[in-house]
Amino acid sequence: MPLSWNDLTCTPDKEAIDALAASWQWRIGDAFTPLLFTALGDMFYEADEGGVFWLNTGTGEVERVADNVEGFNQQLREEIADEWLLPPLVEALIDAGKVCGEGECYTYVTLPVFAEGEYVVENFNPVPAREHFELTGSVLQQLDDLPDGTNVNIDITH
């Protein structure tokens, strides 16, 4: 069965979006409008100063992907969307029984900023979007100023 748009995207509730805004403020600031959330927990947003950006919540990277929303929407219909949405991985996750429910997205067992953090089925699980945004934002903020190759111990408490 072919993937649907709903398989490739996530629709977080207001609480989850508020959690993203708080947990990722250090990286994206306060002035943004969410446009699209991917099943893998990334966000595409329009910045108030202009431009459309991709927040990769696995690496903490922000990349300008379009000058405006119209340009972004055009790119969603092109091959670049495969790089952004990773349909083969999402299909493999669904085939493995890892299916996101309403308000959920996939999160990493090991973030891709670590050598072991691969884009493979075993490294993802569905979780509430709020949990994903809070966890990734917090961990990546703590790692932000560390040089590559630094050994770290991470203590995650709920």
Tens of pLDDT, residues 65-88? 999 999 999 999 999 899 999 999
Tens of pLDDT, residues 47-69? 998 999 999 999 999 999 999 99
Q: Does 130 map to a domain?
A: yes
Q: Does 151 map to a domain?
A: no
Instruction: Dig out the tokens for 139 from the structure.
Output: 């961990």
Residue 122: domain span: 5-143
pLDDT in tens, the chain (158 residues): 678 999 999 999 999 999 999 999 999 998 899 999 999 999 999 999 899 999 999 999 999 999 999 999 999 999 989 999 999 999 999 999 999 999 999 999 999 988 889 999 999 999 999 999 999 999 898 877 756 655 655 555 54
Q: Does 157 map to a domain?
A: no
Beta bridge partners of 45: 34, 53
Q: Does 152 map to a domain?
A: no
Count of structural domains, the chain: 1
Q: Does 150 map to a domain?
A: no
DSSP string, 62-123: EEEEESSHHHHHHHHTSTHHHHHH-HHHHHHHHHTT----TTEEEEESS-TTSTT--SSGGG
Q: Does 124 map to a domain?
A: yes
